[in-house]
Structure 1
Amino acid sequence: MGQSRGVLGVQAAVLAAVLLWCGVSSGVSAQWQTVVKNAGISTMHAAVTHYGNVILLDRTNIGDSQLPLPAGVCRKNPADRADTNDCTAHSAIYSPNGNKIRPLFIFTDTWCSSGQFDGSGKMVQTGGDADGLSKIRNFSPCGDNGGCDWDETNTPLQAGRWYASNQQLPDGTQAVVGGRNAFTIEYVPANGRGQYQLQLLKDTNDAQNDNLYPYVHLLPNNNLFIFANRDSCQYNWQTNTVVRNYPTIPGEPRNYPSAGSSVMLPLYSPFNGAEVLVCGGAAAGSFSNPGAMMPASNTCGRINPLAANPGWAMETMPQRRTMGDMILTPDGNVIIINGASKGSQGWGYASDPVYTPVLYYPGAAAGKRFQTLAGSGTPRLYHSTANLLPDGRILVAGSNTHQFYTFTGQFPTELSIEAFSPPYLGGERPGLTVGGIAYGKAFTATVTYGGALNGNIALNMASAPFVTHSYAMGQRLLALAVGKPVAAGAGKYTVDATAPPSGTIAPGGYYMIFAVANGSPSYASWVKL
C-alpha cells in the first residue's frame, strides 16, 4: 500500500488542504486546489445539498475503506463479498467550509446506482448491485453540525436497476429509466403506476450494453429526451408513449460503458426552446477488447429536440475523451473535465488520462466554441465525479480503476478531493441577496458590485444534480428574465426578475441562484421552488 494513501493519520489527512497552481502550455491559467488529501473513501457518486455540503458515496461491497465509522458501528452483512463485519464508512458528507468529512452509514450495495433530489431537497437514491439492486434509499440533508444519515426504505423498486438514470418530474415524482437488462421506465414514488416498456432501450442494447446510464433531460414541453448508445427519442411520461424518434448521432457509442456525457444547454426565458449536447465516448468494441486501448471519441453532437426537422450538428473537441464529466457553469457555459483519451469505462480499461479541462461556449460560432484550460496532475478515470459548488468552483473527486481499493499500479485508487477554479472566478465577483421566489412571480434581487458594469446583471439558476459515471442526473441551468440594474447606492443595484413559470421548466426543489456581472458569478444563494 502506498504510504501517501495508507491508513496512517486519516483524521489529520482528511482535513489537510494543499494549494496547487497548475498550468500547461496549451491551457488558460486556472487554479487547482487539493482540498482533502485523503477522504477515506473513493467517490463514485456525489451531490451537493442545499446546505452547501456534499454527499460522497462509493459502493459498499469492497471491504474496508479508510474512513472509520463511529465506535461500535459496523455493517454486519452476510451478503458482502469482501467483509461481513465492516466497521468503515462507504458514504460521507463533505463540508467545504473547514474541509471536514463526516462518515455516513449505508448498508446495501450502491454500486453503479442512481439518484436525484426531490422537491423537499431529500436525496432519493435508487438501485445498485447485489442486495441493493431494488433498493430505494433516502438522505434528508442537514447542516455541517447535524447528524443526518441514510434511511433505507422497505419499499422496493419494481425492477432491479443497475446503471439506471433518474429525472425529477413536475408532479414531484422521479422517472427511473433503464438499467442492465431493464428495458423499462418506472416512477418513484409509483403512485399506482407500473413499469413501462421503452423499445429504445431494447434496440440499443448491443454486445457491450452501450445503453446504460441513459441520458434523460426534461424538455420545456414536459416530455423527456432519452438518449441511449447513439439513438434517442422524445417520451411523454404522462401517457408513457414515444412521441418521436431522432436521427442516430454520427460516430462512436456514447453511453456507459463507452462513457461520453450529455447536458441540456442553458434554458433562456421565455423557455420555449432547448438544445442537447452529447460529447465524447469510446470506439465501438472498446469495452469488449480492453487490451487494444482504442482511441476515444473526439466529437460532440448538438441537437434541438423541439425543432421541426431536428438533426445533429457535429463538432470536434480539442482532445479525445471518454469518461469526461460535463458541468453547466454559472455564466451559462459548459466545462468538460476528467477522463481518458483511450479505452472505455471498466477496471483498467482506459489509459492516457486527459488532465486538461475544456470550456465549451454554446453561444460562440461553430469552430470557436472550445477553450483548453490548465490541468491537474491527478488522473480522474473510472468512477470519478465533478460537481458545481455554490462558490462557483468545480469539486472533483474519485477515480478507482480497480474492483477493490488498490494503492499500487499505474492508476491507484484515488482518495483525494480537488477544487477547480475556472477562469470566470478570476474577476471581481458580485454579491447577491435574494429572498423567496415562487413560480411565475416577480421578485427583486440586490446585487453589490464595485466595478463598472459592462451590460446587464444576469440571474442564473442551477440545479444540484446527482453525478456518477460521467453523467449529472437532473442537471439544468435557467437564465431568468431580468430588468436593467437600478443603482441603489454606491456599488449596490436592484435587479427585477421573474421566477421560472412552472415545474416543467424547473421541477420543484432547491436551486443555486447566481448573479453574473461582467462574466463573474456571485456566490450562490439557495432558493426553493
Structure 2
Amino acid sequence: MAVLHRALFLVLFVAPLLFLHGSAHKPGGGKKKEHKVVGVVRDRQRQAKSLLKSATVVVNGNKQKQEKRPAAVTGGNKQDNNVVVIQQNPGAVNKPHTVIVVSNTAKPAGYKPSQKDPDVTNPYAGLTPDKNFKPFKTVIPNKPPPTQQEEEATQKEINQQTTTAANAAIMERDFETKFKGDWKVHADAFVSAMQLQLLPNNKAIMSDTTSFGPSKIELPKPHPANCREVVQRAVDKQHPPINSTDCWAHAVEYDIDTAQSRPLKVLTDQWCSCGGLSPKGYLVSTGGWEEGYRAVRHMGTCPTCDFEEKPGALASNRWYATQVIMEDGNFIIVGGRDTFNYEFVPAVEMNFQTRQFDLPLLRETNDFGSENNLYPFVYLVPDGNVYIFANSRSILLEPNTGKVLREYPVLPGGSRNYPASGMSVLLPVDLRKGGPNVDAEVLICGGGDPAGWGKADREKIFLPALKDCGRMTITRPDAKWEIDQMPSERVMGDMIHLPNLDVLILSGAKKGVSGWQNADEPNMVPVLYSPYKKLGERFKELEPGYIPRMYHSSSTLIPDGKVLVAGSNTNPTYTFTEDVRFKTETIVEKFWPPYLESNLRQYRPSVHEGGTEKILKYGQQFRIKVKLVPEIGISQTNVKVVLYAPPFTTHGYSMNQRMIVLNTLKITDANIQAVAPPSGKIAPPGYYILWAVHRGLPSSGIWVQIGA
C-alpha cells in the first residue's frame, strides 16, 4: 500500500514540478502544455542522456519497491528498474516532447499498464521473454529556438572574429563556433539505403537487396507485367522451386531537394555491391548477390532512366568488393567474398573482354571464419599507383601489371575491414603547395576485434569496437602510422569529407560488428576530425542524432554543404515492428555541420554558376565568379577552392570519395582565378562539386566536369 501511495505521489506532485522546472528554462516557460501518454517503451541510460535535454515531465509507470528517478536525471543510482513513458503533445507528429525514464534491466515481472492511463499500450505483448531484449525507441524531441540572449552572445563572439583593424592574424583563421550542428528529418525514401550514390542531377540512387521482401513503394504499374520474377531455389526433390513475382521497388531515385522518390526496377540483386560515377555522370554498379555476383549495371540521369543490367559480365564473383575509378576513367574492382584478385571494368561498355590479376594480399589477410578483409580500402595515389588496405595490412600496387611495389607497416590494434568495418578516407589532396610531387595521406579509424564476428554471430556477445585511428602519408619512403584516439568506440560508421577540409565521422555502433543483429549500442554522436590541427586536438563531438544508423546505413555530402544520412537495417528482411531491437529505417535525414551556424550566414561566400567555367581542362586556368565579404579579410591563405568527388557509400566505406584543394592564382571579392588539377592521377575524369571556402565557410556548391 505504501508503494502505491509513493507512486501516486510521484505522478501527481513530483511530475508537475519537474515539468514546471523544465519549462522555466525555455522561451514561453511556465505555459502549460497538454500531454497524452501514447506508449510505454524502454531505453538505455546512455541513449537517454542526450534526449533528456528536452525532457519536461517524468512519470514513473513502474510498480516497484525501488521507485527512483534514473541516474541519467539525478546522477545517482545506475541500477533503477523504471519503465520509460513517452509523452507527446497532441498533433506534434515526429517531434514529441519526450519523457524518458530509463530501464537498465529487463521488464519487471508482472508489469501491467496503469488502469489510470487507458491510452497506454504494452510493447511487451507478443515478445519473447528474453531478459536481455531491449527494443530501441527512436524519439525526436522538440528543440526550442535560441533565446535572444543566446543569439546576442553568439553574435558578439562572431563580431570579435571579424574586427578588421588590428586583427590581421585572426583574419587568416577559420571562424570558430560553439554550434555543434543540427539534425532534421527530410522525408521517407520508402527503401532502406544500403547503397547510396549522388548523381550530378542532384538525385541520389538508393538501393537495398531484392531479398529484403516488400519495401514501402511499389514498382510502376502495370502489374504483374512490370514486376520482377522471383525463382526460389529447390530445397530438395520433394520441394521444387516456386516461381513468384515481386512488385516492390528495391531502388529509388531520391531528389535531395524536393524529397521525391521515383521507384526503379533492378533485376540483379545489388546486396553488398559496389559502384562509382562514370566520367559522363551515370552510376556504374557492379557485383552483388546470386544473380548479381558478376553483374554490371548502369543508371543514367535522364528523367525516365532506369537500370540497364548485364548479368555475368565480370570475370569473378564480386560480393563485398570495392570499385575504384582510375586515371583513365575506367574502374578496377578489388576482392569480394572468397575472391582474391582484382579486375578491370570499362566505364562505358557492358560487353567487354575481362582482364584479371591475382592479389595474394587478400588471401593472406583473410581471417579464418571471420574474413575481416572484405570491402578493402582502395585509393588511387597521385603517382597513378593504387593503395590497398585489407584487415590490418596495406600495399602499393602497380595496377596494370599486378606488381606489389611496397608493403607498409601493419596498423596495430585490430581488424579494420568488413565485418570488423572500420572507416577510412584519403585526406584532402592539397595542390597549393606546388611542385611535381603531391603527398597523399590515408586515415583509418575504428573497427573491431578480429574475433568479434564469431562472438557476435554465434554467441550474441558484442565486443567493444575500436577507438583508435591510424594516419599515414603513403607517398613518403619512411611512411609510418600516427595513432590518435576518437572520443568513443565506433564500428560500421561513415567517414565523409566536408568542404572546409574537416572530416565528419558519424553513425555506427559502439559494440559488435557488421552482420544481421551483430551489434549494439548505436553511436549517436557525430565527431568532427580536423586534419590540420595538432595531434590530440583534432576531434570534436557534435550534436547527437536521434535515429540509430547501424548496419546497412549510408551518407554523403551534398552541394549545399549538408550531409544526407539514410538507411539502417540489421534485419534480413524489412522489419518495422517492435519485436526487434532495431527496426528497418527508411527515413532520410540531413545533418547541418557547424559551419552552417545561422549567425555566420552573412559571411558565407557565394558562387555564381553563370560566370563560372564548368568544363575544366587538366592543368588549365579557369575563372570562378564569386561574392566574398571583404570585411572579414580576403587572402590566398583564408580563401580556398575545393573539388569533391561524391562517393558510392555502403557498409561504412565511401569508395571513390576524393577532396582536392586547388591552387589559386588571384583572388578578389568578385573573382577567383584557379588552376584545374594537372591530370587524372590527381582527379580522375568525371563530375565534381566545386565550393569556394572563405575562412572555413563554404558557398553552395556547383557541379563541374573535368577530363570528359
Shared fold (TM-score, shorter chain, > 0.5): yes
Q: Retained in 2: the 8 A contact 1:355–1:379?
A: yes
> Match for 1:236: what amino acid?
E
Partner of 2:185: 34
Aligned to 1:421: 592
Q: 2:627 aligns to what?
A: 448
User: Is 1:170 equivalent to 2:327 in the alignment?
Assistant: yes
Unaligned runs of 5+ in 1: 4-15, 488-492
Q: Deviations over 1:264-302 (max 9, x none)?
A: 000011461010000000122111111221110000000
Report if the CA contact (8 A) 2:232-2:242 is conserved.
Answer: no
The within-5 A match list for 1:235-246 is 235-246=397-408
Q: Is the 8 A contact 1:220 1:272 kept in 2?
A: yes
* Residue 646 of structure 2 corresponds to residue 464 of structure 1: yes
**1:234 aligned partner:** 396
CA distance in structure 1 between the partners assigned to 2:142 and 2:266 by the alignment: 36
Q: 1:431 aligns with which of 606, 615, 620?
A: 606
When residues 389 and 469 of structure 1 are mapped into structure 2, their CA distance, relative to the original with a 3 A threshold, is same
Partner residue in 1 for 2:696: 519
How has the CA–CA distance of structure 1 residues 272 and 289 changed in structure 2, closer, same or farther, with 3 Å as cutoff? same
CA shift at 1:452, angstroms? Answer: 2.2
Helix, strand or coil at the partner of 1:395: strand
Q: Deviations over 1:67-108 (max 9, x none)?
A: 111121211121489983111100001112221111111011
Query: Offset of 1:419 from its aligned partner?
Result: 0.4
Q: Is the 8 A contact 2:294 2:311 kept in 1?
A: no
- Rounded Cα–Cα distance in structure 1 between residues aligned with 2:332 and 2:141: 41
Letter paired with 1:432? V
2:439 aligned residue: 273
Q: Which residue of 1 aligns with 2:157?
A: none
Residue 119 of structure 1: CA displacement?
A: 1.1
Tell me how far 1:194 sits from its aligned partner.
2.1
> What's the CA shift string for 1:313-347, capped at 9, x where partnerless?
10010000001100011111100000000000011
Question: C-alpha distance in 2, partners of 1:464/1:22?
Answer: 31
Give the share of equivalent positions with the same residue, in percent: 38
Cα separation, 2, equivalents of 1:363 and 1:22: 33
2:396 aligned with 1:201, yes or no?
A: no
Greater RCO (Cα-Cα under 8 Å, separation 6 or more): 1
Q: How far apart are the structure 1 equivalents of 2:335 and 2:242?
A: 28
Q: Would you say the 8 A contact 1:121–1:510 is kept in 2?
A: yes
Q: Over residues 344-382 of structure 1, what are the superposed CA-to-partner deviations in whole Å (9 max), with x where a residue is unaligned?
A: 001111111110100000000000000100011110000
Q: Name the CA distance, whole Å, in 2 between partners of 1:453 and 1:220.
A: 35
**Which residue of 75, 86, 91 maps to 2:228?**
75
Structure 2: distance between partners of 1:474 and 1:444: 26
Instruction: Give 1:285's match in structure 2, choosing from 444, 451, 462.
Output: 451
Q: Normalization by structure 2: what TM-score?
A: 0.69
Cα offset, 1:113, TM superposition? 0.5
Moved more, 342-351 or 423-432: 423-432
Contact 1:62 1:82 in 2 (8 A): no
Residue type of the alignment partner of 2:367:
D
1:250 aligned residue (403, 412, 418)? 412
The DSSP-based 3-state class of the residue aligned with 2:632 is: coil
* One-letter code aligned to 1:48: L
Count of aligned pairs: 504
- Tell whether the 8 Å contact from 1:20 to 1:31 is kept in structure 2 after alignment: no
Change in CA separation of 1:149 and 1:382 when aligned onto 2, cut-off 3 Å: same
1:29 offset after TM fit, Å? 2.7
Question: Which of these residues, 266, 269, 274, is aligned with residue 114 of structure 1?
Answer: 274
Where do 1:88-487 residues align within 5 Å?
88-142=248-302, 146-153=303-310, 156-189=313-346, 192=353, 194-207=355-368, 208-269=370-431, 270=434, 272-290=438-456, 291-407=460-576, 408=578, 409-426=580-597, 427-428=600-601, 429-433=604-608, 434-435=612-613, 436-450=615-629, 452-454=631-633, 455=635, 456-487=638-669
Q: Decide which of 50, 65, 68 is 2:215's aligned counterpart.
A: 65
Q: How far 1:154 sits from its partner (Å)?
A: 5.0
Equivalent-residue separation in structure 2 for 1:28 and 1:286 (angstroms): 36
Distance 1:79 1:500, change over 3 A: farther
Name the one with the larger strand percent.
Answer: 1
Q: Which has the larger radius of gyration?
A: 2
Distance 2:321 2:402 in 1: 18
Range that drifts further, 415-424 or 190-199:
190-199
For residue 200 of structure 1, give the secondary structure of its aligned residue in structure 2.
Answer: helix
What's the secondary structure of 2:649's corresponding residue?
A: strand
Query: Counterpart in 1 of 2:68?
Result: none
Find the aligned partners of 1:499 and 1:234 in 2 and give their Cα distance.
26
**CA distance in 1: counterparts of 2:142 and 2:179, whole angstroms:** 12
Go from structure 1 to structure 2 and tell me whether the alpha carbon gap of 1:480 and 1:413 turns closer, same or farther (over 3 Å shift).
same
Other structure's SS at 1:77 match: strand
Once the two structures are overlaid, the 10-residue window that deviates more, 245-254 or 269-278, is: 269-278
Task: Select the structure that is richer in helix.
Answer: 2
Is the CA contact (8 Å cut-off) linking 2:291 and 2:311 kept in structure 1? no
Amino acid at match of 1:206: D
TM-superposition CA deviations, 1:433-460 (whole Å, max 9, x none): 3212111000111111346233442110
Mean CA deviation greater in 193-202 or 100-109: 193-202
Indicate conservation of the 8 Å contact 1:22/1:29, yes or no: no
Tell me, yes or no, if the aligned pair for 1:57 and 1:91 is still in contact at 8 Å: yes
Letter in 1 for 2:454: S
1:79, 1:131 within 8 Å by CA — same for their partners in 2?
A: no
User: Displacement, 1:191?
Assistant: 6.1
Cα deviation 1:480-510 (Å, max 9, x = unaligned): 00134224xxxxx111100000000000000
What value does the CA root-mean-square deviation take over the aligned residues? 2.1
Q: Secondary structure at the match of 1:287?
A: helix
The 3 A distance-change label for structure 1 pair 471 and 162 is same
Q: Structure 2: how far apart are the matches of 1:199 and 1:35?
A: 45
- After superposition, the Cα gap between the structure-2 partners of 1:507 and 1:82, relative to the gap in structure 1 and judged at 3 Å, is farther
Alpha-carbon distance in structure 1 between the residues aligned to 2:509 and 2:465: 8
The reply to whether residue 510 of structure 1 matches residue 687 of structure 2 is yes
With 147-156 and 107-116 compared, the bigger mean Cα shift is at 147-156
Letter in 2 for 1:420: F
In the other structure, the counterpart of 2:246 is: 86
CA offsets, 1:145-184, max 9 Å, x none?
x111110025611001100001101122100000000000
2:495 match: secondary structure: strand
Q: Determine the C-alpha separation between the residues in 2 that align with 1:17 and 1:186.
A: 47
- Equivalent runs, 1:41-60 vs 2, <5 Å: 41-60=191-210
Question: How far apart, CA to CA, are the structure 1 residues paired with 2:143 and 2:272?
Answer: 32
Cα distance in 2 between the residues matched to 1:244 and 1:309: 11
Q: Is the 8 A contact 1:22 1:30 kept in 2?
A: no
